[in-house]
Structure 1
Amino acid sequence: MEKLIQIILDNLSFSVWLKDVEGRFLIANKSLLSFFKVRKNNLIDKTVHNIFPSDIANVHYLEDLEVIKNKKPLKKIRKFKNAVLEIERIPIIDENGEVKFILGTLRDITIEKKYQDEIIKQKGILDTIINTIPDVIFYKDTESRYLGGNLSFKKTFLDRGITDIIGKNDVELHENKEQALAFMEKDKDIIKNKVEVFTKAKFLTSSGDIRYMESIKVPIVNEEGEAWGIVGVSRDVTNKMKMEEELIKLSCIDTLTGLYNRAYFEKEAVRLNQEQYLPLSIIMGDVNGLKIVNDTLGHLEGDEYLKTIASTIKAIFNGNTSIFRWGGDEVAILLPNIDEAEANNICKKIFKACKNYNYKPIPLSISLGTSSRYNLDKSINDMLKEAEDKVYRQKLVHSKSVRGSLIDSLQMTLAEKSEETEKHTMRLVENAITMGEYYNFTTAQLDELALLASLHDIGKIGIPETILNKPGKLTYEEMEIMKTHTEIGFRIAQASQDLAYIANQILTHHERWDGKGYPLGLSGNQIPINSRIISIIDSYDAMTNDRVYKKAISKEDSMKELRRCSGTQFDPEIVEVFIKNII
């Protein structure tokens, strides 16, 4: 039997030996003898101290003692020359629990260790790559228990104060149990059907923030075609979702007013075309005076006017109603579950809010019309037409008073920003009527001349105060800006039916008899007579009253100045009539 055991041991590819508790070799196979380069009779009954140098022998001796003391196997990896050795000692214990022998094995694992190191190296590279990826990467078993993941995966749970992850499933790790169960059901489908699954989910963080995640899970399938786990990749797409929401919002929002645009109105109209939103009302609005603001102060100021009206209307609803910019100066409001009476009350609130808003240079003003339906037989288009018809009727009825209010506001604003005082206007009107009577003007012609005297400088509303009230002489650039007041005044008058007939006279009241005036360079009788009269009256009043840029002069000096400019700046005939009848 002993010979058979020796034969078996000698045929093993690795070294084997047996020692007693005193450290003497009792058995050794050929592999061990070959490795130590000793004969069998030089090893059996010998200890390591008889074979190795004392430093090496002491190491082996102490390890033998450790095995005897602990009664447990001991495995060590040692380098020997260019080889890597695995040495294992196993205690042989008798029925009394005492160690009787030590069985030892020695294996050359150089090649195995080389492959193992390469695997570790490759794994290190792979781990580095995976951990560098900002996406969450994780692995699960068939029971949806987490087996591991990259740093981003661990951080996701660490941020929530969870450190014990491995071996647990989603239900154990997530506060939202319903959502966690849904994840696990998806996992079952992946394992069962061996298909990848793409999902989107919304999470609430511990700080109360909402985060959006996109995930793809893929089954791990072995050579037999069995799924034994899942690999998943999750990406935080919160910024992407916010950007998409912002793009959707931008596609639905009018960038100037912040109201919804007409394209979004069409979508909302379709959504509200259901009985649950009945009664449904629509308010249509048309902003009054926008053209005058655009023509007077420019389109930037017109944009501010439109934005102010939009924000005033929005404030009434506290952001709870869909308000749309329907066109250039039109708005539309969709009111689900609001009847006609309530819609009219809302219109009153809008009128009141605009009236109470102290907007300069003209008050906020809008014409409104409503339409309501109590069943789906009445289409949205029919409602829009009805509401628009009411808007136009309102504009027709109130247009005169609205225009009058706008012009009055412009005059008041001009008086506030310049020295165009009410007394100055009254003097001009009085002198203009006197001149008109001399020329036997009819009552209508006198009214026209008086209106021109009142509004000839209305265009100065669009000139900066720094230029209007400059105490010194204007620069060339400033003068060029000042000259535009005639064209601004012309556009204001053209925008009003009540003033359109004096628009050309406002435009030409700074033309000169010799053709060197502005803006058209007209001369002589090409200039309307009313413009010629106002030019002289206005110049006289400017000379005989203090202005910010110069002191008043006497009537005698003003007469000399008028005569000096007669035939060049002024109509010579009208100058003489004025001097004889006014001064």
Structure 2
Amino acid sequence: MMEPSFYAEIIQASLNPFVCFELVKDNNNKVIDGIYKDLNPAYECLIGMNKDALLGKKVTEISESINLKTIQFLKASEKAKKNDKTDYYFELKKQFYRIQIFSFEKEYTAISYTESTTELLQKNIAQEDLKQTENQLSLILDSTEEAICGIDLNGRCTFLNLNCMKLLGIKEESEMVGQPIFNHLIKDSLSTEETTVKQDILNKLIGKQPCQSNEIYFIRMDGTLYPVEYFVKPKTSNGTLLGGILTFADMTKRKAEQAEINHLMFHDPLTGSFNHIKFEKLKVACDNEKNLPLSIIMGDVNGLRRINQHYGHYEGDQLLKAITTILRESIPKNGYIARYGEDEFSILLPNTDSSQVSWHIEKIQDAIREYNDQISKDQAAINLALGSETKCTMDYDIQKMINKAQDYMDKQKMLNRDSMRNILLTSIKTTLLVRSKFTEEHAERLVTLSKSVGKKMKLSPCQMDELALLAELHDVGKIGIDDAILNKPGKLTDGEMAEMKKHSFIGYQIIKSIEGLADIALPILHHHERSDGKGYPDGLTRHDIPLLSRIISVVDAYDAMTQDRPYRKAMTQEEAIVEIKKNSGTQFDPEVVRFFLESIEEILKE
């Protein structure tokens, strides 16, 4: 074995520059400098300085032209294992050198310089630059939030970044490279057809045009779907199309945020139902031939402001939520509920006629009664006024339909038991009961019979309400007739009869003066008209007589015939029916009589 001095003699005699350093490290054990420990004459010639001027000096104390590169070599030695060597290339004084770095004893590093050809150096530098460029590109691709992959002209994956691997649910790039990326793209998450995404993208690439879309889904390896937005740019070299670069962005979060924005834009935050803005859009969307008959129900919460003041806004909010739940459970799935205002709701019902609307309103009212029966005394009860209207042809303007429903709703609101108007009506009814032979039982029978006929005739819910009110108030004008005439037990004289006939006009004036009851004022005025024109006060004939008046005329006559009077005994139901039939077409409207007879037949069977 040769002595160490023998190696030193060889190094000193070598024509290749050689230098040895003691490494200088910081507190983190990182190399920051080097101290010259030994060097040969060839190295002195290389840098133009003698050995005595260098030994014991730090690299950073020597000429800046060489120390920067030398420091880089020393730092590189940290990566080298003991006695391993690493090759670098270096240019100095127009000469290219192959640099070999030797690391030993952890504290020392030696550098050897070997002359090299220009071609070899340039090739190495190019390789290093390429490697550095690839590393930088890889770093950029992996740090972006977007998923990026390359494709060839057959749609096979050529590379992909980390986020693309995550999106696909793979751990190794090799799992996807060389595989068709289009197998993982579909246009619709619910589509069962073969995807057309591949052809869309390749057509654009062939035309060397960028392509983008936000309507596709990315299929992960486990079969789950992600909504993505993609952009494809053709990849060319010297004018030759090689493939494309696909960039994907996961739209899951963005779609969820957009969905939340859309929900807040078109929904009432308290009840979750549609808001007024959405209702206006639905109104336009539903206004077409295929949705006829189209109906609407308008609802107004009576006394909401008073509830908020008395019970607090929390209780008022809970009441609105309860009403929304009742409405949802009481209408068909194709109906649309909107909170139209602070205390108003609107319901659009496509393909729903007036009789179906009546049924839905009854269901709502039944649910409200059930709710009110279950609440405690400390809770506010639901009092909801409802109005509806139906359009059967496109000639009927939908806004007019809505306005009509609101008018009916307002009338219902007015008749709320807590309103001053209702107190007035109650007072009028009480006076009528006291001053005439009109009884509560008679009123109840008329209301029941009238509603039965109204249902047969498929009257709207609002007409049904008016009919029930007319049944109670049609004789209200009798409170203006003298008691002697009104309660006379025997037959009236001609003069007394003329006086009695004034009651229809008196009733008309009384009801007309009460705001919101104008629609039953005329039916009260004409409830003694006859189809043959021999009635009073105006001698109107059949279709000129208000429909509600024609109905009350038949119902009132039947009830009068089947009840005892001071001057005669009551007829049997069968006898009264015969009498009604006998006067059909003269005193009574034949159409109303037909529906009345159907109703009576059902009632008698019960």
| TM-score relative to the length of structure 2 | 0.46
| TM-score relative to the length of structure 1 | 0.48
